[in-house]
Structure 1
């Protein structure tokens, strides 16, 4: 295998403001994983040019910056600057769209790529141009891997494509929780910009917000017509029912100690509220079905009594 040499990205060449808070997984405007990957792959074979920012020639941080910019997400100009953005993610918890970082210069972060699944990333490499490589390549990338950051959540499908007669919306989660917890739902002023007082579940949404169970995104939206993932629901249920760790010992292949919902998932599993999938994973990014939601709420309610 041909050895690759990459130039470290140094000082900023252009000024950009800091990225906003981590984009909500439930944003109706959020790009899907397929859309992000397709956009990134449109740069394939673009030649590498240190300091370049176009498809005539581009460097690693300009490539990631250009891809994310097309989805309204602003990144710093340098790989080191981008490493200071977003939320840290363990290698075991990587999702499509996460930024992955490497030390190719011997002096810290000097290369960045976009994770596209199955152990692969797409990045602007000095010897190949924009190309797809394995982040675990034992000859080069593997030993130079530093870490990853999640700048935004990219769902696998658009909210509009989800059948909410099968899957649970955030609005439905709020309603079932409010009923199970016997919350007062007479107040319909939730304070969320996308939940009007005449929304059918406005009272429930206002009630769970008041209890600190749910909060909105960085734009003050609740996103009532968006789905919820199993990891997100785990955090919600533990907070709603004030659950504590039980006696069962259960671990999942896709939940590391650094995962944002690791503690909540452990609590649910240790109390028999969740059991995971046949392949040994929890399915952190799987969206919750109505059947799963009802079952998990019933078990959590019984446990909290």
Structure 2
């Protein structure tokens, strides 16, 4: 994608981008398990952190990193974080720990439901095992919840409630953001055939949505939906802007109290701040979970074009 020169279009954008936080706001059970399962078969390598080979903690760190969540590199570091969870209350995404060396915590995996966990074992590489297997049952130490991964049906209900509660005469929908961005970037919106399952070619902003999709600026969710009638958060907008304008990180030390380094949007928000696209809310916070308003969106464009 060619570099954009229209950065001023959103200069002073104090609001701003997609998904995955340490409370795993958009990462569901399915996304967690799909991410973990795609590495099944990768061999075990002591100290390994890549698809050439993982050790146990290198594997768990990689899966969480893929979901935008930062965790410690070693088994002991991972064991020292999160909230302790009893074996009877395990949820998908919880880290499960074992004493396989006789000297304390030495192995970790990710609970995936049905009494199973996925891990990188020394004998099989990345594989799925049962907690009830005698070897693992006898060496089980405990579990930690690092992030909350909701079930798909829970996420769907939450999004439905959000959509009903949002006043789109005040807040910008994802479709409206697509429309404004397509205009600002002077994109060709004649192609209205989108691969998003919830965007019809007859929809008002189908061309804008398709153009942004083709540019790789907007992506859908795990169900291949764009969610045109949903709001967009400042954190989500930060990612969209970085991609749209091909922003490169500049030297900057501005930090926000509500966007820590383990937040999925940290690099995007920090990028915006380093390019002076945002200064936050003025109280030390970025307002990552706040929704972007129409007034704010229009103001950014007006300031840029002037």
Q: TM-score, normalised by structure 2?
A: 0.53
Contact 1:170/1:228 (<8 A) preserved: yes
Segment of structure 1 superposing worse, 284-293 or 147-156: 147-156
State yes or no: 1:203 paired with 2:213: no
Partner of 1:228: 232
Q: 1:247: Cα distance to partner? A: 4.7
State yes or no: 1:267 paired with 2:271: yes
Contact 1:231/1:265 (<8 A) preserved: yes
Unpaired runs of at least 5, structure 1: 1-17, 24-49, 52-58, 66-73, 85-104, 113-146
When residues 111 and 252 of structure 1 are mapped into structure 2, their CA distance, relative to the original with a 3 A threshold, is: closer
CA distance, structure 1, for counterparts of residue 262 and residue 168 of structure 2: 31
* Cα deviation code 1:110-147 (max 9, x no counterpart): 355xxxxxxxxxxxxxxxxxxxxxxxxxxxxxxxxxx3
CA distance, structure 2, for counterparts of residue 270 and residue 173 of structure 1: 23
Instruction: Quote the RMSD (CA, aligned, Å).
Output: 3.7
Contact 1:248/1:272 (<8 A) preserved: no
Partner of 2:163: 159
Residue number among 283, 292, 295 corresponding to 1:279 in the alignment = 283
By relative contact order (CA 8 Å, sep 6+), the higher-ranking structure is 2
Q: 1:248: Cα distance to partner? A: 4.4
Partner of 1:110: 143
Q: 1:210: Cα distance to partner? A: 0.5
Partner of 1:20: 30
Aligned residue for 1:148, secondary structure, equals: coil
Aligned residue for 2:291, secondary structure, equals: coil
CA distance, structure 2, for counterparts of residue 179 and residue 272 of structure 1: 22
Q: 1:108: Cα distance to partner? A: 4.9
CA distance, structure 1, for counterparts of residue 118 and residue 282 of structure 2: 37
Q: 1:62: Cα distance to partner? A: 6.9
Aligned residue for 1:195, secondary structure, equals: coil
Contact 2:92/2:149 (<8 A) preserved: no
* Cα deviation code 1:85-117 (max 9, x no counterpart): xxxxxxxxxxxxxxxxxxxx99654355xxxxx
Q: TM-score, normalised by structure 1?
A: 0.53
CA distance, structure 1, for counterparts of residue 302 and residue 277 of structure 2: 9
Residue number among 34, 40, 61 corresponding to 2:90 in the alignment = 61
When residues 83 and 163 of structure 1 are mapped into structure 2, their CA distance, relative to the original with a 3 A threshold, is: farther
Partner of 2:180: 176
Unpaired runs of at least 5, structure 2: 1-27, 34-85, 95-110, 121-137
CA distance, structure 2, for counterparts of residue 297 and residue 64 of structure 1: 41
